[in-house]
Amino acid sequence: MAGFVGEAVLSGFIQKLVDMVASPELWKYAREEQVDSELNEWKKILMKIYAVLHDAEDKQMTNPLVKMWLHDLRDLAYDVEDILDEFATQALRRNLIVAQPNRPLRRSLPDCKIFQPKKKHLDLRDVSAGWSGRKRLRRLPSTSLVIESRIYGRETEKAAILAMLLKDDPSDDEVCVIPIVGMGGIGKTTLAQLAFNDDKVKDHFDLRAWVCVSDDFDVLRVTKTILQSLSPHTRYANNLNLLQIELREKLYRKKFLLILDDVWNENFDEWDILCMPMRAGASGSKLIVTTRNKGVVSVTGTCSAYPLQELSYDDCLSLFTRQALGARNFDAYPHLKEVGEEIVRRCKGLPLAAKALGGMLRNQLNRRAWKIY
């Protein structure tokens, strides 16, 4: 899978490394060996890298520089994992040695200074700083449209979201905010699209609106976009007060569904201002927020968050083969079955990974070409 280094695959791997760095056992050992400051720096660097993967998503297909950067980042991530594994092994070994005090501890441990040269050799700081210092790449905004026949394995998840949307509590005056949370590429937007376009949902709500928020959480822009979604042929001023008054009037005593896709903002005050006009809506109004950031959940969620999990292997396989071969399996292409199944396993249940890889391999029926990935 050397040719695919997209955010969907890397983000999960980088998250794993962040979790490794946060290990209590590793920190105990780092403090005892007085390298905890270095370990903390690693954690910060890895989190910065994880953050900029959002910008690189979808761009590697059209921008060779992005693809090259992601390729280098993948190699760096593997090296980091090796170092952290080595560090964790030494931490475990130390615990075993402490249980046998007669053995000289220091002699059994490698010089922890190897941590710094390796880190310097990887030049992770330069990689992350260099990328984040460039002009931020812009993703195409999501839309509410979806072709349901091309979606695999989200029936249970869709049913769960529909149950939350269609349940009304007359005693609840607040708008129910349902966060769908999960890593990049796992299908949060797709699940929101499936719910938004369901016939029962269309009949249940008086008004529906879709807004792709992304990392630019501008209350005025989001408010205006909601209004434009509700009344596409009306012109609106760039005045937040007038926009909020207009939105409040449109939502007054109406049961509405609003989808805010790809939210990153953790500022409660901004969120509270955005939601002011929505309190005029009828009981049973709902708001779905999709986000990768668990911090957003604590700020926005008034109802239970829905953590989205990976696709099953079979569903991931079906998605991949449809993209690559226009079929649900490898029955008509037995020579590609073994290498194709290995590619799907490496997708780790991420639909974006399966879809992107399948798209790159579309109409390439040469087994040698597939082995490159």
Predicted confidence band of residue 97 (pLDDT cuts 50, 70, 90): very low
Q: State the pLDDT at residue 134.
A: 38
Compare 6 and 14 and report the one with higher pLDDT: 14
> Residues 15-38: what's their mean pLDDT?
73
Domain range 148-307, its CATH number among 3.30.565.10, 3.40.50.1100, 3.40.50.300, 3.40.1190.20: 3.40.50.300
Answer yes or no: are the C-beta atoms of 16 and 85 closer than 8 Å.
Answer: no
The gap between the terminal CA atoms of the chain, to the nearest Å, is 3
Answer yes or no: are the C-beta atoms of 304 and 165 closer than 8 Å.
Answer: no
| Angle at CA of residue 313, ends 307 and 316, nearest 5° | 80
Q: 272-314, pLDDT tens digit by residue?
A: 999 999 999 999 999 999 998 888 888 887 788 999 999 999 9
Q: State the pLDDT at residue 39.
A: 72
Q: 128-183, pLDDT tens digit by residue?
A: 444 333 333 445 789 999 999 889 999 999 999 999 999 987 767 788 999 999 88
Q: State the pLDDT at residue 120.
A: 40
Supply the pTM of this predicted model.
0.66
Answer yes or no: are the C-beta atoms of 231 and 250 closer than 8 Å.
Answer: yes
Q: 239-275, pLDDT tens digit by residue?
A: 999 999 999 999 999 999 999 999 988 889 999 999 9
% of the chain residues with pLDDT over 90? 40
> Residues 31-59: what's their mean pLDDT?
67
Strand order in the sheet with 207-214: 207-214, 256-263, 286-291, 176-181, 306-307
Nearest Cα to Cα of residue 192 among 218, 165, 217, 166: 165
Answer yes or no: are the C-beta atoms of 297 and 179 closer than 8 Å.
Answer: yes
Q: State the pLDDT at residue 139.
A: 59
Q: Which residues pair with 286 in a beta bridge?
A: 176, 257
Q: How many residues does the chain have?
A: 373
- Cα separation, 241 vs 232, in Å, equals 20
Q: Return mean pLDDT, the chain.
A: 78
Q: State the pLDDT at residue 64.
A: 61
Residue with tokens 């937040």: 240
